[in-house]
Amino acid sequence: MAEILQVVTILRCLYAPNSVPWAQTLLGSNLQKLQARYKISALSQVQTQDQVGTQILQIVGMNGEFSFNGALFPIQQLIIAENLVHLQVGAEATTADALLADVQRFFFELETKTAMREYTRTYQTSAVAKLNVPFDAMLSENMLRFLHGNVADKIKQADAEPTIQLTHLSWQVKYRSEATDYLYIPKMLTIEPRQGSKISDNLYFTQSPTNSETHKRLLEEFEAALSGQTIETAVK
């Protein structure tokens, strides 16, 4: 069964125009309140471009914290724009959802007529996981024969034997939508060895455009698929 050792959730929420009280949020005193609310160590205003090249202003906060259910969780990044809240939290999706709800309460405190009408919200999960799958199981027998036979034989040094092992394995996920008010940013699906770990540890760095619960389920299905088990057997 997949053992999650570390998890990070990115939650990105797009809003209808005039949902975020943008002018109020940009006031210096309110930026101070935002920084104090989440104990953010660095808060700045940054000019950037959106997906279609339009210049936009963003409030960017780094290295904060959020208290939820009696525990403190690291806020790695908080971005607020005129119709966007982007959170990166060292926690599962339920905590990210709670933080987003708290940010929305902050907006309401600034302007009580605020109505947070969402267009869409997306999740990305990154996790370090210990899986019951050796790295070589992700490669076909033909590929392994090629690497350890053809390639290894040709890259030897006179005084050193080569070791070939998998390092990076990712796919880009793109979305096509009928929506005209927003675009979905391409995201990564990654299952690869955790850098710096021993091969025998079976530690993986994993990433998917899903919430943390779905991400864990995908890892369990990955274990089952590469071990030849059914998912029900693999998660017992």
Q: What is the pLDDT of residues 126-171, one digit of tens each?
A: 999 999 999 999 999 999 999 998 999 899 998 988 888 889 999 9
Cα–Cα dist 82/55, whole Å: 12
Element of type H or E holding 21: none
pTM beyond 0.85, yes or no? yes
| 91-97 mean pLDDT | 98
Ranking 21-35, 164-178, 205-219 by mean pLDDT, the lowest is 164-178
Crossing angle between the packed helical segments 212-227 and 93-110, to the nearest 10 degrees: 160
Ranking 27-31, 61-65, 180-184 by mean pLDDT, the lowest is 180-184
Strands (E), 16-112: 42-49, 55-68, 71-81, 84-89
Residue whose C-alpha is closest to residue 103's, from 90, 118, 119: 118
Asked if 31 and 43 touch (Cβ cutoff 8 Å), the reply is yes
Query: How distant is the alpha carbon of residue 95 from its chain centre?
Result: 14
Predicted local distance difference test score (pLDDT) of residue 228: 63
Q: Where are the domains of the chain?
A: 17-116, 127-234
Structure tokens at 177: 């939508």
HSE at residue 222, side-chain half, CA atoms within 13 A, is 25
Q: What percent of the chain is predicted at pLDDT more than 90?
A: 74
